Structure 1
Amino acid sequence: MTKLNPYLNFDGTCEEAFNFYKTVFGGEFTYFSKMGEIEGMEASEDDKNLIMHVSLPIGKDVLMGSDAPTNMKSQFKSGNNNYICISPDSKEEADRLFKELSVDGEIEMPMEEMFWGDYFGSFKDKYGVCWMINYYKSE
């Protein structure tokens, strides 16, 4: 079944924010990585300690987040840092959702195999809503 999870982007405060959320909701991070730790990803000195990805389970759902790297900071504005992340059951469903939801929108990253092993793409739809489609091939 397709899952929907909120994805938050930050301007360098992701780790602080998620440590705060952890104190509020409890639990442990199921994933936590910094940009400088990811093999295959080039990160500038300024970006190495930024959060690449963090996942915090909240009940049956997952709150996810990352920091905006230097090359994306000019686009970052408080308020546009929220995404709806869809995790479909198949690559075909990922492609269908991406194609249909992104019509007349602005594609940030086309659907493609990513260095972390998933099939991923992101865009802003024609209504200004930010979406991520992420098919976990291990499921």
Structure 2
Amino acid sequence: MKINSYLMFDGNCEAAFKFYEQCLGGKITMMMTHKEAPSAENVPAELHDKIMHACLELEDRFLMGSDCPPGYFEPPQGFYVQVSVSDPDEAERIFCALAENGKVKMAITQTFWSVRFGMLVDQFGTPWMVNCDQVA
């Protein structure tokens, strides 16, 4: 079994996924708007340019997401997307990249369980934990 995160956005999914591709590496393997979907004629025109489904492939995991219909978006709460890497420099790089124009909740530092650990909410409102539990 593998568990992957699916993020919901308030109209900025495309920008978020392009940002995540830059920060995390990997590759966007799908980004479909509502007007590109087979059901496009059943979707209100204001949603046509919004993302119906996006997928960022990261090694053997996927980060997926879409834009919510108007009035359905709720800010994320009660979870963090956790990134785990084995190189402290890579943990620092990812943390700093994701923190750009976001809000740092816990600066990245050494902890009793990790060589590097930090928490932030990115510019799109997605909460992240970056962890490096071993020295490369």
TM-score by length of 1: 0.51
Q: Which runs of 5+ in 1 are unaligned?
A: 85-139
Cα distance in structure 1, aligned partners of 2:8 and 2:2: 19
The equivalent residue for 1:11 is 10
Residue 60 of structure 1 is matched in structure 2 by 60
- Would the aligned equivalents of 2:14 and 2:31 in 1 still touch at CA under 8 Å? no
**Alignment match, 1:76:** 73
Alignment of 1:1-139 (within 5 A): 2-41=1-40, 42-70=42-70, 73=71, 75-79=72-76
Q: Distance in 1 between matches of 2:59 and 2:27?
A: 12
The amino acid of 2:24's aligned partner reads F
Q: 1: distance between equivalents of 2:48 and 2:17?
A: 18
Q: Distance in 2 between matches of 1:78 and 1:67?
A: 12
List structure 1 runs of 4+ shifted beyond 2 angstroms.
Answer: none
CA distance in 2, matches of 1:79, 1:26: 23
What is the number of equivalent residue pairs in this alignment? Answer: 80
SS for the counterpart of 2:18 is helix
Shift of 1:26: 1.7
Q: Percent identity?
A: 36
Quote how far apart the aligned CAs of 1:36 are.
0.9
Deviation (angstroms), 1:27: 2.6
Unaligned stretches of 5+ in structure 2? 82-136
After superposition, the CA RMSD in angstroms is: 2.4
**CA offset at residue 77 of structure 1?**
1.5
Q: TM-score, normalised by structure 2?
A: 0.53
